[in-house]
């Protein structure tokens, strides 16, 4: 099975949203609704104070992390598990290879088969599975993240657009890294490794190099480039003062960026310079 995480899933994890811990930013908000009656919490923890909300309640998704979504509704802010959120506007996607659609995200109960080129509509995420439906919404199921693409595919499973291609095909030439020639620095090595892994599935319980979250992705790429001291959690990475703290205006190629939620520049906190070039 393909290791790629397609752009449609990246958009989902970013807009509904992996992972990607890794790899994963939101616009101001994404319209979602509760797919079941469940609890929402004051903090991203089931031990926090909670209230029960009804199925079908529409909310705005503001940010996400490690399986939790930060939502607003009726002037309130709360947290809820991402598995209980469905996009109001499903994302059209294509199956890249013959695959199985399951009844739930455990992958244990087969529901149907999907052929390469089939169209599905993405509405949510649950771990390494994507929640999909048919166009009318009358049928729903779960499919592995790595077999979806936002671009049309042929019957043989080859994408007809670059949106689900490998990292070397989706990254502009001007931004690509190479390990050879003049670009053999540790910075370029780290970027080269990172680009080669574009398409690897997101998972909250990361298992590199098969799956990543954001922190393990950074840790893995920098480590292969020669940094042995970077820690593997996002908190320790962001607050490790052994690496130079960088302002937004001083960011350079290869720096690590640290931010709060998914608004990037607006909530940019600082950067860390892992390698001096």
**pTM reported for the whole predicted model:** 0.51
- Residue 26, φ and ψ in degrees, nearest 5: -110, 155
Where does 143-212 have alpha helices with state H?
Answer: 167-170, 186-196
> pLDDT tens digit string along 36-54?
999 999 999 999 999 999 9
DSSP-assigned beta bridge partners for residue 273: 244
Fold of 91-149: SH3 type barrels. (2.30.30)
Same fold, 7-87 and 91-149: yes
Q: Where are the domains of the chain?
A: 7-87, 91-149, 167-273
CB 58 within 8 A of CB 74: no
CATH architecture entry for 7-87:
Roll (2.30)
Name the class of domain 167-273: alpha beta
Integer-rounded Cα Rg, in Å, for the chain is 19
> pLDDT tens digit string along 51-73?
999 999 999 988 777 778 889 99
pLDDT given at position 103? 93
CB 21 within 8 A of CB 213: yes
């Amino acid at each position: 099975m393909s290791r790629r995480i397609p752009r449609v899933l990246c958009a989902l994890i970013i807009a509904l949203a992996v992972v990607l811990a890794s790899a994963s930013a939101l616009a101001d908000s994404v319209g979602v609704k509760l797919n079941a009656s469940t609890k929402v919490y004051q903090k991203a923890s089931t031990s926090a104070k909670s209230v029960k909300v009804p199925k079908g309640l529409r909310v705005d998704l503001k940010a996400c992390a490690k399986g939790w979504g930060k939502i607003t509704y009726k002037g309130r802010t709360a947290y809820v598990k991402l598995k209980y959120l469905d996009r109001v506007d499903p994302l059209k996607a294509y199956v890249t290879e013959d695959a199985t659609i399951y009844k739930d995200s455990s992958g244990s109960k087969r529901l149907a088969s999907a052929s390469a080129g089939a169209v599905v509509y993405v509405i949510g995420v649950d771990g390494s599975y994507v929640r999909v439906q048919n166009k009318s919404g009358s049928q729903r199921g779960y499919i592995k993240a790595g077999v979806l693409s936002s671009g049309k595919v042929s019957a043989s499973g080859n994408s007809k657009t670059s949106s689900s291609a490998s990292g070397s095909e989706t990254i502009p030439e001007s931004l690509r890294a190479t390990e050879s020639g003049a670009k053999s620095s540790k910075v370029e090595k780290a970027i080269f490794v990172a680009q080669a892994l574009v398409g690897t599935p997101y998972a909250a319980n990361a298992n590199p190099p098969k799956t990543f979250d954001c922190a393990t992705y950074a840790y893995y790429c920098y480590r292969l480039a020669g940094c042995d001291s970077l820690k593997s959690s996002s908190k320790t990475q962001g607050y490790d003062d052994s690496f130079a703290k960088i302002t937004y205006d001083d960011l350079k190629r290869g720096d690590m960026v640290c931010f709060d939620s998914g608004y990037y520049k607006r909530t940019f906190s600082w950067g860390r310079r892992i390698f001096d070039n």
